[in-house]
Chain A
Amino acid sequence: MSAQTSSFQDFRNLLQHLGTETADRDMSDNERIHAAKSTFMRKLNGRKAVDLDTCIQCGMCAEACHFYEATLDEKYAPVYKFRLLRRFYRREISPMRLLFRPFTKDISVADLKEWQHYVYDACTSCGRCDMMCPMGINISTLIRVTREGIAAAGFMPPELRALRNEQRDQNTLFGVGSEQLKALIHDLGAKKINVPLDRPHADVMLLTTAADILLFPNALAATARILNKAGADWTICSDVFEATNIGLVSGDDPALKLSIKRIVDKATAISASTLLLPESGHAYQAMRWEGANEMGASLPFEVLSIPEFIAAQTEAGKLNFKPQDNGTSVTYHDPCRLARKGGVMQQPRDVLSAAGLELRETASTGRENYCCGGGCGEYVVKSSADLRQKAFEIKRREFDETDADAVVTGCVNCRINLAIGAENSGWQMPVTSLVETVAARLAD
């Protein structure tokens, strides 16, 4: 971890107090159940119906889940995490609902409270189970719909609720807004790193994250170096710079859409042809795969993750690297939503190779990669701390087996969770970001 230790401790303290003063609106039991059911009804479609009708309850998905593997607790089998949605489907939507209803228990508030633990604390929506299912069921999507229903019922964990409210109402996260971004850019300017701020028009609109600004300012500096080296016509906008989409990770659809709309409107206003996303797996999912669907039309710009951008610029000959150094080896941690759910798996590896690094793969990699343990916003949720640490240990074991010099990842949230896990367990392997690793090896 290359974050300043004091900043990181401050950040962990901030996480400890997150959500303690956040109350959601009062809802009666009937309102909660109605909200959950309405969400389930809206979200279920033919594809999900086929998935729900195909499940044979073989339980193999448990063997793909890091939370089950770490605890051997049968409640963490992915098939059980969407059981509530399946019950709703069988009672209310299935073509056989009239026959199923008398034998299928209705959803209660107690159920919603119980499933909050399964879908928030014990699921990072990593989608590894999707790859295991012999029936081809998109299990993580079914769990996500369950999460959305529970969020609508007012049972979102308080930490995510606090962040959701902050982003929705103040357009900041962790208290980081345009002033903090401007201050960082000012500091970078003093180090002769040019970050074009608020240009009225640019080909490339770059986003960053509050977590990077707070903890990993070198990531923005490295990204700027890469963009400048590639000769890109780019800018970052002080009023819309946040890539993190708390709506997506918390299961709040309106908040998801609002964050997407802010970015789409801004990118359109500055006539950007490319929206460049920082190292954030879920931001990639939100903009690359859900942006158009949430907006109801194709996006008027291309959405690229930073590994895709670097790989393309390297291939085009716009980025060159120093000759290979002393044979530094790294292992790459695939962020789930960038890799297994996003399709960006080869580009980071190409980039690391081009930068002269020896890549050592973990035993489970690419589409079969283990989650860091804290994805989908889970690293902020206090009630999942023990489970997260256990899941982290699986990841740590795989990292250690590579005997690499460092872990490189392409997601700030993975980086934070790995740093938390490392600090908790005294693990020493350095964890850094792809963009910082690559920028440090750019030829002058």
Chain B
Amino acid sequence: MTLLDFARGPGLQWALWIFVFGVTWRIVGAMFLMAKKDLSKARRKKYVADGVRTIITRSVPARSFEKRIRFQHISGYAWHFALFISVLFFAPHILFFESLLGFGWSHLPNTIILFTAAAATAILIALLLRRATHPVQKFISNADDYISIFVVLIPLVTGILAFAHVGARYETLLAIHLLSVEAMLVWFPFGKLMHTAMTMPSRYQAGTSFGHRGIKA
């Protein structure tokens, strides 16, 4: 079995199993802790509307906060946008998703994907440097913060190298790229990449609890 065979076969399977089981375990486990019903008289009882609205409104910081977090706000959006374009609209990725899901979708030209992947990589490196140097971020950061950045950064870099056929044989580069993605999937349930799954529930519950008191969260 070659390295590429392993990456495409058992490596990928194990990584996906760990990812699915780990994410499910962590979400269900947190939910099972439950919370008591709020017995105070609600000022407003539009919980679903308040929860959904907060999922949307927290995507934009409040007016008086925005100027203080502008860099993180803009770079955060730019990074996620560039990443999603690169992952979801690159033709070989779509073929992979089609093999998993049974359906595919249109792809974007390679030049656009190369640009978004390079942009995502550059922004992530900038965010990594900021975390390592900004007084607050440097102080509060732990291993999870850095590991989570690296396990996302490496697939981006190896993906670009594989695309450009730079540094080694294509098969080797592709195997390394796949293995780095699998490392990210394995790490996902254990680190802060879990925010991908938790952000919406967290925003939703903020919306409902503040909405109960008549406050727009």
Contacts and interface: CB of A to CB of B under 8 A. Distances in A.
B35 A45 contact: yes
Contacts of A99: 190
Interface stretch (A57-65, A169-177, A185-193, A317-325): A57-65
Contact of A131 (B25, B29, B62): B62
Contact of A367 (B26, B62, B136): B62
Nearest to A342: B213
Given A53-B194, A343-B213, A45 B202 contact: no
Interface residues of A, number: 64
A212 interface: no
Interface stretch (A3-11, A117-125, A240-248, A289-297): A289-297
A134 interface: yes
Contacts of B33: 44-46, 49, 93
Interface in B56-82: 58-59, 61-65, 68-69, 72, 76
Nearest to A295: B39
Nearest to A74: B139
A139 B106 CA distance: 42
Given A49-B33, A136-B54, A296 B39 contact: yes
B192 A56 contact: yes
A50 B63 contact: no
Contact of A136 (B58, B61, B144): B58
Interface residues of B, number: 62
A291 B39 CA distance: 9
Contact of A364 (B35, B64, B69, B189): B64
Nearest to A287: B40
A298 B41 contact: yes
A40 B203 CA distance: 23
Contacts of B195: 54-56, 135
B206 A136 contact: yes
B100 interface: no
A54 B84 CA distance: 20
Contacts of A136: 54-55, 58, 199, 202-207, 217
Contacts of B134: 59
Given A74-B140, A292-B40, A292-B41, A63 B205 contact: no
Nearest to A95: B29
Interface stretch (A19-27, A75-83, A160-168, A404-412): A75-83
A96 B202 CA distance: 19
A126 to B, nearest CB: 14
Interface in A82-132: 83, 93-96, 99, 103, 130-132
B203 A47 contact: no
Contact of A80 (B140, B209, B216): B140
Contacts of B54: 136
Interface string A194-232: 000000000000000000000000000000000000000
B190 A47 contact: no
Contacts of B1: none
Nearest to A297: B39
Contact of A289 (B140, B213, B217): B213
A338 to B, nearest CB: 11
Interface string B140-163: 111111000000000000000000
B168 interface: no
Contact of B201 (A50, A96, A103, A138): A50
Contacts of A47: 35, 205, 209
Nearest to B214: A343
Contact of A59 (B35, B136, B207): B136
A136 B36 CA distance: 19
4 nearest A-B pairs in the assembled complex, by CB-CB distance: A95-B29, A136-B203, A136-B206, A343-B214
